[in-house]
Amino acid sequence: MSQPIQTVSIRVQPAYEASIGPGLLDECGPRLRCLLGPCRAVVISDTTVSALYLPRVQQSLEQAGFTVSAWAFPAGERQKNLLTLSAALEFLAREALTRSDCVVALGGGVVGDLAGFTAGCYLRGIPYVQLPTTLLAAVDSSVGGKTGVDLTAGKNLAGLFVQPAAMLFDTDCLTTLPPAVIADGASEAVKTGVLAGGPLWTLLEQDGLTVDPAGVIARCVAYKAGIVERDPREAGERKLLNLGHTVGHAIERCSDYTIPHGHAVAAGLAIIARAAEALGWTAEPVAARITAALERHSLPVGTEYAPRELARAAVSDKKRRGSEITLAVPRSFGGCILKTLPLSDLESVIAAGWEVF
Ligand code: NAD
Ligand code: GLY
């Protein structure tokens, strides 16, 4: 018997649903028709995903009455930039899309961030939907409405908060993912487990992602939905979702984006967990359990980049405010806190949890 579709509501303005289960790429047409009516749809993807999944998406959309065109860019974080954004915007303009049409983001987090930003800018905003195809995009980036591109100075420095009209994750996409890309998603899932604590953390400490990936994804999305509902524009609580990301983004930047986001976040998470323990910021031992959960997925728990280099790279982090930076700190499982520090302390905090990898 095939698995049921699980649905999570994201009650922001306007509210939308995330649906998770098998076969959703073939069902996307009728499901989106209920939300957006038959209109013109531009599917934005990367060339890897487009070769694998565009025909199914296009057929489903066309059979439901959409007029479909598609645009794809080469895969990879290095393409998440202003040049690709510009080319995507020009494509929408050449296709003469109007505000009653839509963009469909088909791909991982890179595609979702770029396509969402493109839709949010074009004509000052047209609807878009997220069809994530990686574990990372399913558990994290396809809900919550953060979109954007990288600038030379750092990650995600240009972007918009703009919520999708829907998220549909076809769990069959997991079958074509290389193990390293699965691991990237496991990293964000472990982060969410540390934040949530309770049953989600227990699942991630055990082999939950292998045994019941759809269940873990739905729980991660539900946890993130709660935070996004309370703080859609990251004025406070949503900063917790950046757990592991200050150092993670610095690692990505130091590697010139050759280390993928999920791997970099895993190292960032391990470093902040060890630092928190060493500096007496934790209420229970966290570091060994977090690193064990990451290592289960062959993720790195340290980095070759020195604390000074990482602290320098973090200067352009969005979480910096003037001469201060706010870090998410794993005080306990389900009890993470925000700590604001002088930027000048960042190097010593990183050094307290640093290990070479
Ligand atoms: P990605 O989008 O680069 O995808 C990784 C690789 O997998 C790519 O080569 C892609 O072509 C390939 N791929 C995608 N789906 C596939 C499938 N089903 N089968 C085979 N190959 C497939 O990387 P990612 O890890 O999905 O996303 C990382 C990005 O997400 C980063 O840019 C990060 O900043 C962003 N992100 C955004 C948010 C947010 O809230 N907006 C949250 C977390 C991460
Ligand atoms: N991934 C962090 C956020 O959506 O806020």
**Interval 67-89: pLDDT, tens:** 999 999 999 999 999 999 999 99
Report the SS3 class of residue 177.
coil
Kindly give the distance from the C-alpha atom of residue 5 to the centroid of ligand 1, in angstroms, as a whole number: 22
Confidence tier at 321 by pLDDT (50, 70, 90): confident
Find out whether the beta carbon of 69 lies less than 6 Å from any atom of ligand 1: no
Tokens linked to 209: 């992602």
Per-chain mean pLDDT for the chain: 96
Buried b (16+ CB within 10 A) or exposed e, 42-56: bbbbbebbbebbbeb
Please state whether the predicted TM-score (pTM) of the whole model is above 0.95.
yes
Q: Which residue is closest in CA terms to ligand 2's atom 3?
A: 241
Q: Which residue is listed with tokens 């003469």?
A: 96
Residues 141, 287: Cα–Cα separation, whole Å: 25
Question: Is 234 a catalytic site residue?
Answer: yes
149 pLDDT higher than 70? yes
8 A C-beta contact, residue 98 and residue 69: no
- At 1 the pLDDT is 56
238 pLDDT higher than 70? yes
- At 37 the pLDDT is 84
Find out whether the beta carbon of 251 lies less than 6 Å from any atom of ligand 1: no
Question: Is 245 a catalytic site residue?
Answer: yes
Distances from the Cα of 254 to the Cα of 47, 117, 274, 344, angstroms: 26, 25, 21, 19
- At 188 the pLDDT is 98
**Mean pLDDT, to the nearest integer, of 21-35?**
97
Q: Which residue is listed with tokens 């193990």?
A: 179
Residues 343, 357: Cα–Cα separation, whole Å: 25
8 A C-beta contact, residue 131 and residue 139: no
- At 317 the pLDDT is 73
8 A C-beta contact, residue 126 and residue 95: no
